[in-house]
């Protein structure tokens, strides 16, 4: 519950227009005072969001066992207890499409506001074949499973306004600062040391995702 609240805190404020009770307790226990100007509370109450944009790449697990906590993995961004029941990317991020559906349901149950998926994708090392192609079927599998689960969430009654993946073209990964951790549908000839021609090559996932867009979400 405490870990969930760390994630929910910002959306709680933005969606409900006030600090939640658990935040007031946290502020009190840690000697934090929020300075408010006249009418700030009214402005906060009136300025709630119309929809919730969120990113989903992987799920995380936690523990209260101190011995388990000592062996947490970073996953480049957030600390997490290793989950042996789901596969992981080359950077240790869990690949958990069912968690995508669960997250969408939890957000919608909590706020009853439309959702917009602003980031979803797989960072991986892509290798050029001798014929100059990138056969990234692992990325296609990742997207297929996650888009399937998003469709299931919509069947559950979750209102999802839109979906954008991360990202269309390879660029330096914000989480690890590497070029070799590639997310795009389009390969960029550049390595971690800055060597390369910057030539663009469409990966297999480019053609697959193009069909997904054309068919309005058919991932078969």
Whether residues 112 and 183 fall in one domain: yes
List, for residues 4-38, the tens digit of each pLDDT value.
898 899 999 999 999 999 999 999 999 999 999 99
Classify strands 200-202 and 186-188 as parallel, antiparallel or unpaired: antiparallel
Would you say residue 16 lies in a domain? yes
Token pair in block for residue 125: 């090392």
Last residue within a domain, chosen from 18, 34, 49 = 49
How far apart (Å, rounded) are the C-alpha atoms in residues 73 and 50?
35
Whether residues 134 and 192 fall in one domain: yes
Number of domains present in the structure of the chain: 2
Would you say residue 67 lies in a domain? no
Structural domain including 34 reads 1-49
Whether residues 168 and 110 fall in one domain: yes
**Which residue(s) pair with 119 in the sheet?**
55
CATH number of the structural domain spanning residue 137: 3.20.20.80
How far apart (Å, rounded) are the C-alpha atoms in residues 200 and 128?
12
Q: What's the whole-model pTM score?
A: 0.90
List, for residues 139-188, the tens digit of each pLDDT value.
999 999 999 999 999 999 999 999 999 999 999 998 888 999 999 999 99
Q: Max alpha carbon distance in the chain (Å)?
A: 67
Whether residues 37 and 144 fall in one domain: no
Would you say residue 219 lies in a domain? no
Whether residues 107 and 168 fall in one domain: yes
């Amino acid at each position: 519950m405490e870990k969930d609240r760390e994630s929910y805190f910002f959306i709680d404020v933005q969606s409900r227009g006030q600090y939640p009770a658990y935040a007031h307790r946290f502020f009190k226990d840690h000697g934090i005072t929020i300075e408010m100007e006249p009418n700030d509370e009214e402005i906060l109450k009136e300025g709630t969001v119309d929809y919730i944009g969120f990113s989903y790449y992987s799920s995380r697990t936690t523990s209260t066992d101190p011995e388990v906590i000592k062996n947490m993995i970073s996953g480049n961004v957030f600390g997490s207890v290793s989950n042996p029941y789901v596969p992981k990317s080359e950077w240790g991020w869990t690949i958990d499409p069912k968690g995508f559906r669960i997250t969408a349901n939890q957000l919608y149950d909590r706020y009853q506001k439309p959702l917009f998926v602003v980031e979803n994708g797989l960072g991986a090392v892509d290798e050029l074949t001798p014929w100059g192609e990138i056969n990234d079927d692992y990325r296609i599998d990742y997207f297929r499973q996650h888009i399937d689960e998003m469709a299931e969430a919509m069947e559950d009654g979750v209102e999802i306004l839109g979906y954008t993946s991360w990202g269309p073209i390879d660029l330096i990964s914000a989480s690890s600062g590497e070029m070799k951790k590639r997310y795009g549908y389009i390969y960029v000839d550049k390595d971690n040391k800055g060597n390369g021609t910057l030539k663009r090559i469409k990966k297999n996932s480019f053609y697959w995702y193009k069909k997904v867009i054309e068919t309005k979400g058919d991932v078969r």
